[in-house]
Structure 1
Amino acid sequence: SPVSVGEKKRLSMSGQQKLQAKANQGATEARISGDMSDAAGSAAVGRLQQSITYNARLQAMGHYLSLPESMKRRVRALKKLQFHTLEIESNFYRELHALEMKYASVHAEQFDKRYKIVKGEYEPTDAEADWPEDSEAELQLAALARSVGGTTEKSAAAAAQLSDDAKGLPGFWLTVLKNVELIGQMIHEHDEPILKHLTDIRAGLFSGDQTGFTLEFHFSQNEYFSNSVLTKQYFTRMSPDRRQPWSYDGPEIYRCRGCDIQWCKGKNVTVKILKKVQRHRGNGQKRTLTKTVETDSFFNFFNPPTQAIDDLNDDDSEDEEIENLLQSDFEIGHFIRERIVSRAVLCFTGEGLDDDDEFDDEDEEEEDDDGDNEVNDFDEEEAAQQARH
């Protein structure tokens, strides 16, 4: 049976993760055997992988080019058939996209009920809340809870502060996002007070001249920004690209667009103001220099690179960095749509958290975060020039 768009994308991501894990393992082995640095080991493995792939392609192309012209002609006919096959596949995905849009209103009814229960606008009846607890799952979760110690104690203490009379499920969406490692690692302490105001996450499809989906993050009134909804749009390519047709593997995200957050004064958590006091050598007068620098925050998610991934140059190091950021962003956006919006309650309880849904960082090494120390010190020459002016 056909693989769904979401499942196909997840399978693709799983393959990428396994490849990355093998590359990391190879880099580690190379460092151990040859006393290589982290960068040198990873680069060596990357070059080896490229070499193996390149040699295999050369052999295949060499065989094809050595064929008689009559056979090459038949191969070209097979290529044209292959392209038509991809066009049929793309038509299937277009119809599937239209079918998903048709059922979007049905899903919306269920999500509306979820929203009202979470926010405390509706109290479910006994009949609506009669879903049985899974005793085996409870035992497994209890064993896991004991094994992680401090983190669970902290969560239990926070839960204990909630009154039985509290309306809805306070902090539901913050808990959902933090429970998913892929998203939780984006959330910093200064983001949490804002995300406590998150009341809903929705995903909507669009089609026409452009196809894709929009993520909507709904917030209650708060002191941090005036927006009631923050949006993130993802644009998908449904058809194979004639310039690179054989890379087609179903709908592909190629661009995304965030939104402007209307921050209240002094509440923008995506930047911080650095101050440095200087004393004039001659008259002893003091002046304060300020500098605004970007800082890590979940809300940087709404300010992605604006370029389409097709417009980037693989040979440009800056473009390569942007491409990596976009690929990561695309995976996160797709994951939110496919797994978080549709299965939020299972992410909340932990039952929907799968090891395969997370990035494999087993072989990654942590680095000291010296960013704050670096940005807290102005470049002395720059500061001196500002002081003279």
Structure 2
Amino acid sequence: ENMEGISEFITVHDRECLEYLHNLTSEEHAGGYKLSFYFKENPFFENDVLTKEYLIPNFMISGVEDILKDLKGCDIKWKPDQCLTYKTVNKRQVNRSRKKAGMVRTVTRKEKTESFFHFFNPPQIPTGDVTENEEETLTEAFNKDFDVGHSIRTEIIPRAFRWFIDEGHNYNEEESTELSIHLYFQKTCVIKSLE
């Protein structure tokens, strides 16, 4: 929540849900990495873990820029009336045909809302031809998604405690190992006390 670039995606309702987040891990493998968000029981969804996987065939090859092949999210099992990614909207429609002129019906539909939890439903690589505009939009969406995942893996997870206390942006790589170990144990104690 305190990290610029990610905090812009987090809404007030997301913050309420993220209060139940108690662990965040990155599992790296030769073909990419998987982020796992562990949640305590909460009023929003049934899942204990939400995952996002980045498939990068050249991930472990040093000196080569990562090439994102695909993204895999997960299905969030929202509890009734708790979905943060879509809202149900009822609209009244007046029939204008001659036979049923003036008759009113209510149409229910889902509208997408702003939410960090769209992160778990990533953009999909199209199977057919795309226009230049569609390609540009998709490229931007993939780049943004990749940047968020990369930031979580390389900046948030290694410095979780500092971000938790809103000091992650002041991190200095040259800090002593002793301080890092001390902060690790502090973070562990804070997280365990939150459980």
| 1:183–1:278 CA distance, 2 compared to 1 (3 A) | same
* 1:180 maps to 2:7: no
Aligned to 2:45: 225
The CA distance in 2 between the partners of 1:251 and 1:295, in whole Å, is 31
Aligned to 1:238: 58
| 1:306–1:285 CA distance, 2 compared to 1 (3 A) | closer
Work out the number of aligned pairs and report it. 165
Counterpart among 5, 9, 12 of residue 189 in structure 1: 12
Q: CA deviation at 1:231?
A: 0.2
| 1:287–1:344 CA distance, 2 compared to 1 (3 A) | same
| 1:283–1:260 CA distance, 2 compared to 1 (3 A) | same
Q: CA deviation at 1:200?
A: 0.8
The CA distance in 2 between the partners of 1:329 and 1:232, in whole Å, is 10
The CA distance in 1 between the partners of 2:85 and 2:56, in whole Å, is 28
The CA distance in 2 between the partners of 1:212 and 1:206, in whole Å, is 5
Q: CA deviation at 1:274?
A: 1.6
* 1:302 maps to 2:120: yes
The CA distance in 2 between the partners of 1:312 and 1:277, in whole Å, is 36
Aligned to 1:290: 108
The CA distance in 2 between the partners of 1:290 and 1:353, in whole Å, is 44
With normalisation by structure 2, the TM-score equals 0.74
| 1:306–1:227 CA distance, 2 compared to 1 (3 A) | same
User: Sequence identity of aligned pairs in percent?
Assistant: 35
Q: Secondary structure at the match of 1:252?
A: coil
Q: Can you list the C-alpha shifts for 1:315-355, whole angstroms capped at 9, x where unaligned? A: 62112101111011111101100111111111123332059
Aligned to 1:202: 25
The CA distance in 2 between the partners of 1:338 and 1:257, in whole Å, is 19
Q: Superposed, which structure 2 residues align to 1:62-141 within 5 Å?
A: none
Q: CA deviation at 1:266?
A: 1.7
Q: Can you list the C-alpha shifts for 1:256-301, whole angstroms capped at 9, x where unaligned? A: 2111111112211111122122456768654212221211110000
Q: Can you list the C-alpha shifts for 1:183-236, whole angstroms capped at 9, x where unaligned? A: 1100011212211111111111123xxx11100000111121111000000111
The CA distance in 2 between the partners of 1:312 and 1:212, in whole Å, is 25
| 1:312–1:237 CA distance, 2 compared to 1 (3 A) | farther
Which structure: larger Rg? Answer: 1
8 Å contact from structure 1 (residues 314, 320) kept in 2: no
Which structure 2 segments of 5+ residues have no match? 172-195
| 1:306–1:280 CA distance, 2 compared to 1 (3 A) | closer
Which structure 1 segments of 5+ residues have no match? 1-177, 240-247, 356-389
8 Å contact from structure 1 (residues 313, 320) kept in 2: no
8 Å contact from structure 1 (residues 194, 224) kept in 2: yes
| 1:323–1:269 CA distance, 2 compared to 1 (3 A) | same
The CA distance in 2 between the partners of 1:304 and 1:259, in whole Å, is 9
* 1:344 maps to 2:167: no
8 Å contact from structure 1 (residues 232, 302) kept in 2: yes
Q: Which moved more, 1:274-283 or 1:346-355?
A: 274-283
Q: CA deviation at 1:313?
A: 7.4
In structure 1, what residue type is equivalent to 2:117? F
Aligned to 2:137: 321
By percentage of residues, which structure has more helix?
1
Q: Superposed, which structure 2 residues align to 1:244-283 within 5 Å?
A: 249-278=64-93
Could you say what the CA RMSD is over the residues aligned between the two structures, in angstroms? Answer: 2.7
